[in-house]
Amino acid sequence: MVESGPPRPLRWAISLWWVVALLLAALTALTWTVGTGAPPRPGAPPADAARLLLVHTALAAVLVAAYLVLGAMLFRRRPWVRIVLSVFALVHLLMLLGTGAVLGAQAVLVVLGGTAAVLMWRRPSTEWLTGEHD
């Protein structure tokens, strides 16, 4: 039996990228409803907190869109998409590490994104993405 679509590791990777995108969107929405509870730095005016929230939301929107769109593009057998997704994931990881926000739900994002990255670079995924195209 010949498999017509992407191999299982790549299907899992795509699904995980979409889960990361949806979880990030949910966490961002949650931040808007409950707030962070702390100003960006002690004694900072509320305007700074609002500006930080807007920047956070804009960055999250870019990452969510990238994970959703690029994940879907993997189905179209575009090998370069893995590189772009890996760069977005690395930038996201560095932002999380830089802010010290790798706790709780953020840690779940790191684990899911790391797993997705590993799965999309496995041999079956590579062979399918770089093999002959229809």
Q: What DSSP string describes 77-108?
A: T-THHHHHHHHHHHHHHHHHHHHT--STHHHH
Mean pLDDT of 47-53: 78
Model confidence at 113, pLDDT cuts 50, 70, 90, reads very high
pLDDT of residue 124: 93
Mean pLDDT of 91-107: 80
pLDDT of residue 43: 62
Structure tokens at 60: 């999250």
- The top-scoring range by mean pLDDT among 12-16, 55-59, 75-79, 95-99 is 12-16
Q: Tell me how far apart the alpha carbons of residues 43 and 103 are, in angstroms, rounded to a whole number.
A: 25
Mean pLDDT of 7-36: 90
Q: Tell me how far apart the alpha carbons of residues 1 and 4 are, in angstroms, rounded to a whole number.
A: 9
Q: State what percent of residues in the chain have pLDDT above 70.
A: 84
What is the sign, positive or negative, of the torsion defined by CA atoms of 64, 11, 127, 4?
negative
Q: Mean pLDDT across the chain, nearest whole number? A: 85
pLDDT of residue 86: 94
The phi, psi pair for 76, rounded to 5°, reads: -90, 10
Mean pLDDT of 4-15: 92
